[in-house]
Amino acid sequence: MIPEIPDLPHEIKKAAINRNLVIFIGAGVSMQLGCKNWAELANNLIKKCYEFKGESGVSCINFRERKSLNEEYDYKKVITMCYNILKTNGHESLFFDELKESLKGDEDIINQPNIYDELRRLDAIYITTNADEHFDPKFDIRNLMYKEGDFNSSEIKNLNLYHIHGSLKDEESLVFTVERYISRYNDREFKNFLDEIFDKYLILFLGYGMNEFELIDYLISKVKKEERSEKEIQHFILLPFYAHEDNLLNFYQFYYNEMKIKVIGYAYDKKGYSQLYKILQKWNSEIFFESKDEIDRLLQ
């Protein structure tokens, strides 16, 4: 049976205590604060393209085109197409309005203790592919990195939050189309930044599902692949399963083995995706007491 709260791997505990931990934060974490997922954003953008007529009185797409887009399950592709449809028709601002609305979140959840409080307690280096700003208030503004030039491999610091796909703070920084994606991942400074992260730190991935992990697959398979060795750091990903899905967890591990990532499964039968919050609370307690014991030992 898969446990609700898995054991904290020694490697993650050690990395956290030694301030050598990087946490990659995906859309699944922001969804816990009420943000829309990729599918919902794509569907809302399609609806916007179809229903908004503007001064001409003509929709950007017709019914057949709307139906075709709704049948496309590569949501990032749909989002890219909708952006260009709206931009071509002079309605680029509608895209950003919808993007901001989808990432607004639930104020009731945001104003209560939530998963970002537990993440911040880890004192890690934080990297996110999310554009929302819900984690930002927990950092000094000088530690928020989202623009070109912010990804300097020689200045990576704990308690920095890196929005590697940009932030809603600055529309020009956002990476959501193929053109911007290629530009970002072919930038030499950015590639050096990723080299440093993947070579020197232990990484824990949170909030990434199979349907959006091609990004991380790309990062791990492309970044400095020719220099991989047996001493390479083993990374980890927390993934939800139903308690009886031990075999499925093993199947997933076959896939992630190719990327040198260890799957940590947790059962979400009772609390759903919010179970991740409970896990981080428990792990933080273990790390805190371990750190305290180490400090007491050194002071003796």
| pLDDT number for residue 231 | 54
pLDDT at 185: 86
CATH for 10-35+109-299 is 3.40.50
Between CA 34 and CA 18 the distance in angstroms is 33
Residues in the chain: 300
On the CB side of 92, CA atoms within 13 Å amount to 6
Neighbours of 162 (CB within 10 A): 22
Q: Are residues 204 and 21 in contact, defined by beta-carbon separation less than 8 angstroms? A: yes
Alpha-carbon distance of 232 to 259, in angstroms, equals 11
Q: What is the pLDDT of residue 210?
A: 64
199, two tokens:
């070579």
Task: Please tell me the predicted confidence (pLDDT) of residue 298.
Answer: 40
For the chain, give the mean pLDDT. 89
Contact 27, 207 (CB under 8 A): yes
The residue type of 37 is N
The answer to whether the beta carbons of residues 21 and 160 sit under 8 Å apart is: no
| Closest among 185, 22, 163 to 103, alpha carbons compared | 163
pLDDT at 214: 58
Which residue positions in the chain have pLDDT lower than 70? 210-233, 290-300
Q: Where are the domains of the chain?
A: 10-35+109-299, 38-102
Torsion of CA 290, 291, 293, 299, to 10 degrees: 160
